[in-house]
Amino acid sequence: MIRVESLTAGYGKLEILQGLSLAFAEGQFSAVLGPNGSGKSTLMKAIMGVNTIFGGSIQLKGRELVGLRTEDISKMGIAYVPQRENIFSEMTVLENLQLGVRSLPRERRQEALDELLALFPILGRRQAQRAGLLSGGEHQMLAIAIAWLSRPSIMLLDEPSAGLAPAVAGDVFRVLQDLRRQDITLVVVEQNARRILQYCDYAFVLREGQLAFEGSAKACLNDEETIKGYLGVHEGAALAGRDPTRP
């Protein structure tokens, strides 16, 4: 669905991605993993046209995205949930959601809100609350819900479990599984490899701006060399169910 070919991208004159090529399949829940600085978030921003692209191609179903404005890319059915600044903290939950439905025809707005609150019941119980007072998990649910309101065919999420307790992160990942069942293609950048590999279908591991591994989530979990070499020894021990503090 999204094909990246020989992509070199970064910020200003700094190149982070180094000739990266990969493809995200339609209807798949894909995780983008790797150590800090490997280019995971840079890839998401490059797809959305918000950083510097030095060369290469990004195509959505054969249509070139490089050179398009971010708002035009969004209109093509791609929703992006950044790690930070993804809600309006001073507004209530309901006001945030009402902003999210403004692009829909007026007669569809209430129906869309009703569908959303069925999918995210916690937000229904927090409608009158100021968004800045939400817990970390509720905050992420709201950000994901706002993106879902645009009825995207693809959702890009940058570190949705950042700072969340393991149980809360699991709630977020289960919501993403529900969205995948709606035929939404998901691409999720994550540091928490151990958890997301239990939920996603496919994994890409980046290192120093290049593709180090790709394969099914199961294959990634079972590939000891990839886990230790690219995701860290401690992550590999946790994936294997061992205590990383013991030899």
Span 26-56, pLDDT tens digits: 999 999 999 989 999 999 999 999 999 999 9
Per the CB < 8 A criterion, the answer to whether 192 and 239 are in contact is no
Q: What is the pTM of this model?
A: 0.88
Per the CB < 8 A criterion, the answer to whether 185 and 1 are in contact is yes
Q: How far apart are CA 155 and CA 78, in angstroms?
A: 6
Partners of 64 in beta bridges? 59
- Give me the pLDDT at residue 224, please: 74
Average of per-residue pLDDT across 60-84: 94
- Give me the pLDDT at residue 236, please: 40
Which structure tokens are listed for 126? 């927090």
Phi and psi at residue 125, to the nearest 5° = -80, -10
Q: How far apart are CA 187 and CA 26, in angstroms?
A: 10
Query: Across the beta sheet with 154-158, what order do the strands follow?
Result: 78-81, 154-158, 185-189, 29-33, 202-207, 210-216
- Return the DSSP state at 25: P
Helix ranges (H only) for 101-196 are 106-119, 121-124, 136-148, 166-180, 193-196
- The predicted-structure confidence for 110-137, as pLDDT tens digits, reads as follows 999 999 988 888 999 999 999 999 999 9
Look-up: residue for tokens 């992550």? 235
Q: How far apart are CA 227 and CA 241, in angstroms?
A: 13
Q: What domains does the chain contain, in order, with CATH numbers?
A: 2-83+137-239 (3.40.50.300)
Residue 231 has pLDDT above 60, yes or no: yes
- The predicted-structure confidence for 144-174, as pLDDT tens digits, reads as follows 999 999 889 999 999 999 888 888 888 899 9
